[in-house]
Structure 1
């Protein structure tokens, strides 16, 4: 049975017994790349939100800004209640979530295999990467007339715009995740007789899955940012549509409600994906 050097040294006659001090889980707060306990992390996070809310409340309560331009927290809460009870906030939220998830999942289904091949094979990278680098700088808003022409005014046009906003970024990020897999793992698989397909499935895909999961989490945020653009396209429901309608009628409180709801959904989704990442890939902690 092989032993580690530390075990061997302690087993030699006359060897001094090495005393190991326990490594603390947390250190000084301001240590570079230091760690915080979960409780302290949560307290600091809650404090940041409370400070933001306090500043908002203080500015609006001082009368320095007209409520038309910056309504107070109480006015926003009242508007949220009206929207929820009279104007069907839940339905608007549900349709927006559906559009975001549909566009995002369509992007993921296409981007993951393509990014895997781009990161694995240089000829594929040479063929696709310049096209993708060019395409990711094209503004999704500029595609609105073409999307209306190609997909009509139904749900397909909104999903297509969210796909345009997320796919090109996602595929390049996935290819970078695959490219960062250490070459030593590929060489070890080759030594054991692995074929190209086996290296692709059992080495590159599995090794890059934690990083790909983080990429999915980040690009889901991109999908939410393109929601308002997507719901500009002949929509009559959804959070983005409601925000645009509120802008036309100077309903600033409703605009704030829509923005806050999107932010809360994004925050909850992000924290849920973080938790799932820790459960699926515990070795990356």
Structure 2
């Protein structure tokens, strides 16, 4: 408990140092306030957006629209990537069919194929959710597939020697064994989806956190940009904490071997 408490104080200290450097650099004129506004300007912009909204929409709507796109895309990715990853790790022939497709598109920048998604699916939310889905699918699929491949062969053979069928081995041995890798893939996939959010809201969007940041950049509203970035970062941290909490509940044995 003491170690965790000390680590927590270190985290708070690092945040305090960054905030202090930000305050000092703007107060002493080390940076141009047009590009790096002082903290009080960012706070004032935040209060203004909370009270009056941004471009006619309340802040809750911008946050809700972004989270809606992100959650829908991630839910679709989890519903497909986890089963396909499990099957690929368990059946090498199936993996040979899926891997080339994933490895082909995985290194591509999202904007490289976003234009195609807009042509195919239109400028509405469908193309945005599809882009976020592709961003989440690859890291989650790879993590799950690698997790299944790392399961000791002896563990599977021991279950079969006790009379377990293929379905029982898959359900009671393979899936629980790769749960830590699944949660690792989930955390990575959420991060990748979040980083693609701005690109997804670049085309024909009128709401969302990413759109708000991009729109503010057109008018050099660096205070609004900072508000958007800080809010996106805080929401991402909250999502990661929720995933880690679920991991501790569902995989209590992880890290204790």
What TM-score bracket applies, with the shorter chain setting the length? over 0.9
Contact in 1 for aligned 2:156/2:169 (Cα 8 Å): yes
Q: For residues 230-249 of structure 1, give each alpha carbon's deviation from its aligned partner in whole angstroms, at most 9, with x where no partner exists.
A: 00121110011111110101
Identify the residue that residue 119 of structure 1 maps to in structure 2: 89
Picking from 183, 200, 219, the partner of 1:249 is 219
Identify the residue that residue 103 of structure 2 maps to in structure 1: 133
Picking from 71, 79, 88, the partner of 1:101 is 71
Q: What displacement does 1:198 show?
A: 2.1
Contact in 2 for aligned 1:60/1:67 (Cα 8 Å): yes
Aligned residue pair count: 251
Contact in 2 for aligned 1:117/1:124 (Cα 8 Å): yes
Bigger relative contact order, structure 1 or 2 (CA pairs below 8 A, ≥6 apart): 2
Structure 2 unmatched runs, 5+: none
Which TM-score applies when normalising by structure 1?
Answer: 0.85
Picking from 14, 22, 30, the partner of 1:56 is 22
Greater per-residue helix proportion: 2
Give me the whole-angstrom Cα distance separating, in 2, the residues matched to 1:162 and 1:82.
30
Identify the residue that residue 182 of structure 1 maps to in structure 2: 152
Which TM-score applies when normalising by structure 2?
Answer: 0.94
Q: Which runs of 4+ in 1 moved over 6 A?
A: none
Give me the whole-angstrom Cα distance separating, in 1, the residues matched to 2:51 and 2:113.
36
Give me the whole-angstrom Cα distance separating, in 1, the residues matched to 2:15 and 2:173.
42
**Structure showing greater Rg:** 1
Give me the whole-angstrom Cα distance separating, in 1, the residues matched to 2:248 and 2:14.
24
Is the aligned partner of 1:197 residue 2:167? yes
Identify the residue that residue 44 of structure 1 maps to in structure 2: 10
* Larger CA deviation: 59-68 vs 273-282: 273-282
Is the aligned partner of 1:260 residue 2:226? no
Give the match's secondary structure for 2:123: coil
Identify the residue that residue 253 of structure 2 maps to in structure 1: 283
